[in-house]
Structure formats: structure tokens, C-alpha cells
Amino acid sequence: MIRQFELVERVKAYDPNVDEDALNRAYVFSMKAHGSQKRASGDPYFSHPLEVAGILADMRLDTSSIITALLHDVVEDTLCSLEDIEKLVGPEIARLVDGVTKLAKIEIQSASPQAENFRKLVLAMSDDIRVLLVKLADRLHNMRTLHFIKSEEKRLAIARETMDIYAPLAERMGMQEIRAELDDLAFSVINPDARDSILARLSFLRGEGGDLVRNITSELTATFKKEKLKVEISGREKKPHSIWRKMQTKAVEFEQLSDIMAFRVVVDSVEDCYRALGIIHGHNSVVPGCFKDYISTPKPNGYSSLHTTVIGPKKHRIELQIRTRDMDEVAELGVAAHWCYKQNVNPHEGRQYRWLRELLDIHEHASGPEEFLEHTKLEMFRDQVFCFTPHGDLIALPQGATPIDFAYAVHTEIGNTCNGAKVNGRVVPLRARLSNGDQVDIIRAKHHTASPAWEDVVVTGKARACIRRFIRTRQREEFIDLGRNILRKTFSKEDVAFTEKALGEILNKFDCQSIDDIYAAVGSGLLSGHEIIRGLFPDFLGHDDDEGKVVSLSKVRGKRSRKEFAVPIKGLIPGVAVHFAGCCHPIPGDRIVGITNTGKGVTIHTIDCESLEKFADEPEKWLDVAWDSVSVGEETHVGRLNIVLLNEAGSLGMLSTVIGKNRSNITNLSIINRSTDFFEMVIDLEVKDVKHLADIIAALRANPKINSVERARG
């Protein structure tokens, strides 16, 4: 366990202005607060915050971050409060401790603790990025001691969360060593057999070839010395998880991998980077397609380096990373190397933090934590392509991104009004895939709106979240307008005054928060117009007819009630309850069959109804029935249609007009799918018989705005 003076000396080694007094106070306070608490390993609990502080000291973070590490579990696990911490070390560190504490409090009732945890993590990052740095160090030490947790299920859950969330975040922060260690520690829990197998093969290779890393390093050093270039070379084997991931992505066996060693060449200047590259390429065969220049075009997290793969000494295929000392520091420490806080620089400005702002945009547009996690995983796991705006601004996007992704990356409103795109001066489809170096000019149209079909095209989380939000908003507006029209027509037919004030009095009956919610429910088919009337006038609509249809007010107010109408079916025992199947909606003129249901009467199906297959082995339930032409008069029945309608202005109005002119009424309408060009919907109509329904279908098919119309059979 790190002693008090040792921690102070480690921080003083890189920060001569360290507040020793505050650091000492925090050390003693945390040790006393945790007291006799023990970890799963049996060690004193205080050893954990002390190790986290040590990890941050190795990263050379500021004093406030080190003190936050010492105190990060005090509020959650002891009787101390944030007020106590503020009195001890001031408001800044109290705020940082509060941010870390909130991340640990995963809501137990959350449907997805992992997604909810990640949402809170990003929100905390938006306030002060040091909260994330402390949390990553905390997770790193917990992973190093994960084997002490007895529950295998809990170990697996923590390991998966680490690999899915914390390791990718460390990578995006530019903290490559921490990312690699987190990945490998999680890999050892998730797939220990695979890791052990890779370690065994690496050990065998070392035995076969001796110390390859040292031998290759020596030969490379000699080459540079001959060319009189001062360099520092270090080599290493790739970690088991890195090798495993490459085996999976390339779909190859271990024996087929030839680049399991990586070497780092550190030089004094950028000019020396390119000179070193020339020397390497001049003395070795280059592997085509394996050169990347992250100096001229750095990664979004600030990473800069030259990457190349060559057939090096001993005929081994090796990867080399060529960089300056400053670049090397950024590569190892990521944002911690920028000293943002000591230089009073806003850590949210600059290209390396653009991804953080994008994650916050996703959170704003996502409907819930599950969707947020889905989109952010898309953001973190893909390779990057770099494109430019017409003004020369650099936009980093995932591999496979489209002009739509580019538009939303620039601004949400630009994405929502995107109508076309020019790439390198040529008009291209919005589905086109962008490449490195493309200059993209988005063509906008004032009245153009995002298309639902775009969701299947885009690859960035921000674009997908914005499209879903836009479509949800527009769809709700259309449902509201449609529901309002349906209610007005239904109320008019039943000779009932239509007022929004009356609707406001029955909101609780339908679990609605506003009148617009009622309109949207009716427009989307969740409620019918007659159900709303029955909510207002229960005395008039307190019963349904034998077919399960709501009785209209006009009939209740007429000369005779529904009970006076005879059931239009022959072959039934008098007094038996009759139901018309909702799967096939039989109407007079259909060939029908009755199915008996114990205690529930008889259900009438059409003879070709697919639901009858489940009664094939129960012939005793089948009844031979037919329509009674004497009883079938002016009564209406439900006919259901599947319709594909052009998505353009006036289409819905035309549809209702055609149906009205054919002496029918829409009792329910539900849109089941929509695209840029078409609506797919299910409509229930009041019809007298099969001929009446056939006349309506013929009239609809004759209209050019209707793509197809079929009678629904399920």
C-alpha cells in the first residue's frame, strides 16, 4: 500500500506546485473514514482509493484529480457527506467527488442498468472530464482485483460492461495503455480459454525464435544509426485480446497472423518522423495498404503518429509506429497529457472533444437509455473517415458514413432539411459512402424533411437518433390531425356536439395527459371514435351488439333497440351467444363456419380463415352454419382492408371521400408502416355484405393515388 509521503513525492515529481497540505489532509481523512472496512480480497478498503490515486499519479494528473481519487468512495460507503469534503478541500473537489459518486449509484429499478450507467457517465463527463478520468482509474483497479469476487455471474457482468463501455471510452480519450489493459482483463473473464490458448501459442513462438523482439529492435537500431538518425525504439508483443480481435475481424487462425509484434520509433521532430519512415521503407519491403498518416490528419482524440507495416529483419512482418516524444505522451496519456486544467483551457473545446459533444447530442435525441447505448456503441467501435466542408472544416465520421451522416454531424437542422449532396463537386445519391478526403456540400430544401428510409442508410448514432426523433414528432402530428377528423365525423354522425372541453373531462378515463394524446390515440388506431363517445355518454353506450361492435347512438335513440334485431345466422340453437371473428371479419355473402367455445357461445369464421387450422383435430367444435337472408337487412358489418396509399398531400382525404361516396363509413384506421413514398394501413369499414365491400374495393383500385387494396384475412 502506498504510504502518505510516497504519494506526495510521486505527485511532486511532475508537479512542483502540488498542494501538499490538501493532499495530506485528504489521505488521512479517507483512511479514517473507511476505517476497518474490507474489500472482497480481505485488504483494507482504503487500499482501493489509494491505488486509484496511484494510477492517476502515473498519468501525471493534477492535484485535484489525485485528491478526488482518494475521496471518491467516501460519500457512498461511509457516513461522511459532501459538505464534509467541501469543508476539507473546497468546492471544486467536492463537485468532482459528487460526479464520481453519482456514477456509482445505478438505479436498481432501471430496465437496463448498463445503459443507464453509461448515460449517467456521459452526463457527468459533460460537466468535468476529470470525473471520467477518475472513473476509468477506479474501473481499472477494480478489474485488476476482479478475481476476488466469488460470484461468476457478477464477474461476467462487470467484465462485459468494461469491454462494452469503459475500454472504448478510454480509447476515445486517447488512453491507449489503459484501454488495452481493460480489454485484456475483461477478456480473461469473458473468454479465459481463448486467452490461455493465445498465451500458450505466444510462449511457444518465443521458445522457437528466441527473443525476437530484442533481436529485431537491435537490427532496427543499427539501421537508423547507420543513417545517422537519433531514435528510441521499443518493441512488444500484442496483448492476447488484441490478437483475438484481429483473428475475429479477419476470420483467420492464429498461425495465419504474421503481425503480432509492434515497434515504436520515437524521434525528436515531425521532420524526423518522415525521415525515419523513408529509412524504414528504403531498407524493407512495404506491405501494401498498411500505411496510415495520423500526423497530417490526427484522430479525433488528438492521437498523432505514422503507422506502417513492413517485412522486417528475420523476414518477420512487423508494425511500426513513428512519432515524436510529445506525440508519444499524448498516445499514452490521452487527454491527461494536454494539461487542460493547469493551463485554464476549456476541456470541451478543440477537435479531440468533438466526439464528447456528439454523444451529448445523441442523449438529447434518444428516446431512452437502451437506444442511447445502441447509438453510442455505433459511434465508438467504427473506424474513422475524414471529410471536409466547402469551407475546409474537418468532419470525422465512422467508416461507411453517408452524406446524411455528414449533414447531421454538421448540424441537426442541416440533416433534417438535407435534399441532396455534392461530393468533390459531383452530385451523388444520399446513400453514397464517403471516403477519406472527400469534400461534401449538402444541398438543402426549405420544405424538405427527413425520411424514415434514411434510418436504414445512416451509420452514425447522432444521425439515427435525430431521424427517429423527427419521425416520431411528425408521425404524432399526423395522428393528431387524423384523430381529430375521425372524432368530428363520428360525433357528427351520432348527432353529438363535438367540443374539446368535453374531451378534457375524460382524459383520466383513457390515461391521457392532454387532448392531443386522445387525438393521437384515435389517429393511430389505439382508440375508436365510438369508444370516446361511450366515455362521454356511458348511459347511451353501455353495451355492444352481438358482433362486438359498438351500437350507434342513432340506433339507441331510434324506434327499436339492437336486441330486437335477429341474429342473421341459420343453423344455431336459439339464444346462443354469437361472436364474429376478428381474424377474418365475416360478412354476409361469405361462406362461413361456426366454432363452439365452451361457456362463450359460437364464433363465426369465413371458411378460408387461417385460424381454423388449429381446430382441425377437433371436429366436434365445428358447426354447419349459413347466413339468413331474411334476417340480413340494413345491418352493417365490419369489413377490413389492407391498403397501400401514396404518401402525398390529399391522399387520406381522397381515400375517405371514395369510401363515403360508396355509402360506407371508416370505423377504425391504423397505419402499420410508412416510407418516403407510401403508407401501408389497415382500415375497418361498415358494409352490408360482400358485394358492398367488393364495390368499395373496385372504386379504390380505380384511383391513381392507391397503389394496392386487398381484403384483410388476419
* Domain CATH for 184: 1.10.3210.10
Q: Which of 58, 76, 177, 259 is catalytic?
A: 76
**How far is the CA of 419 from the CAs of 289, 403, 446, 450, 699, in angstroms?**
35, 10, 9, 9, 35
Identify whether the C-beta of residue 26 lies closer than 8 Å to the C-beta of residue 70.
yes
pLDDT for res 551: 43
Q: Is residue 144 part of a domain?
A: yes
pLDDT of 557 over the 80 cut: no
Chain mean pLDDT for the chain: 80
Q: Dig out the grid coordinates for 219 from the structure.
A: 537490427
Which residue type, as a one-letter code, is found at position 655? Answer: L
Q: Dig out the grid coordinates for 698 from the structure.
A: 373496385
Q: Is 616 helix (H, G, I), strand (E, B) or coil?
A: coil
Q: Is residue 355 part of a domain?
A: no
Count how many Cα atoms sit within 13 Å of the Cα of residue 293 in the half-sphere of its side chain: 8
In this structure, the answer to whether residues 161 and 246 fall within a common structural domain is: no
In this structure, the answer to whether residues 221 and 175 fall within a common structural domain is: no
Would you call 171 a catalytic residue per the annotation?
no
pLDDT for res 106: 42
Q: Which of 310, 338, 366 is the last residue of a domain?
A: 338
- CA dist., res. 593 & res. 574, Å (int): 17
**How far is the CA of 319 from the CAs of 47, 233, 246, 261, 563, in angstroms?**
39, 12, 14, 7, 86
Which residue, 568, 485, 549, is CA-closest to 685?
549
Identify whether the C-beta of residue 376 lies closer than 8 Å to the C-beta of residue 359.
yes
Would you call 20 a catalytic residue per the annotation?
no
Q: Which of 189, 223, 243 is the last residue of a domain?
A: 189
In this structure, the answer to whether residues 44 and 119 fall within a common structural domain is: yes
According to DSSP, the residues that pair with 641 across neighbouring strands are: 683, 711
Classify residue 164 by its DSSP letter. Answer: I
In this structure, the answer to whether residues 180 and 249 fall within a common structural domain is: no
Please tell me the pTM assigned to this model.
Answer: 0.56
- CA dist., res. 61 & res. 587, Å (int): 78
- CA dist., res. 262 & res. 217, Å (int): 10
Listed range (127-131, 247-251, 540-544, 601-605) with the worst mean pLDDT: 540-544
Q: Which of 43, 77, 161, 272 is catalytic?
A: 77
- CA dist., res. 34 & res. 87, Å (int): 18
pLDDT for res 360: 62
In this structure, the answer to whether residues 213 and 273 fall within a common structural domain is: yes
In this structure, the answer to whether residues 151 and 118 fall within a common structural domain is: yes
In this structure, the answer to whether residues 9 and 133 fall within a common structural domain is: yes
State the total domains in the chain. Answer: 3
**How far is the CA of 5 from the CAs of 10, 18, 21, 203, in angstroms?**
9, 13, 11, 40
In this structure, the answer to whether residues 169 and 295 fall within a common structural domain is: no
Q: What is the percent of the chain with per-residue pLDDT over 70, rounded to a whole number?
A: 80
pLDDT for res 381: 54
Classify residue 289 by its DSSP letter. Answer: T
- CA dist., res. 302 & res. 294, Å (int): 9
Task: Please give the residue that has the higher pLDDT: either 153 or 534.
Answer: 153
Q: Is residue 389 part of a domain?
A: no
Q: Is residue 380 part of a domain?
A: no
In this structure, the answer to whether residues 169 and 249 fall within a common structural domain is: no
pLDDT for res 647: 85
Q: Is residue 202 part of a domain?
A: yes
Q: Is 19 helix (H, G, I), strand (E, B) or coil?
A: coil
pLDDT for res 209: 56
pLDDT for res 200: 83
In this structure, the answer to whether residues 696 and 663 fall within a common structural domain is: yes
In this structure, the answer to whether residues 67 and 113 fall within a common structural domain is: yes
Q: Which domain holds residue 108?
A: 4-189
In this structure, the answer to whether residues 184 and 200 fall within a common structural domain is: no
Task: Please give the residue that has the higher pLDDT: either 448 or 701.
Answer: 701
Q: Is residue 168 part of a domain?
A: yes
Which band of pLDDT confidence, cut at 50, 70 and 90, is reported for residue 121?
A: low
Per-residue model confidence as pLDDT tens digits over 462-511:
899 888 888 888 778 878 888 888 888 888 877 777 888 888 888 888 88
Q: Is residue 26 part of a domain?
A: yes
Dihedral of alpha carbons 370, 371, 374, 377, sign: negative
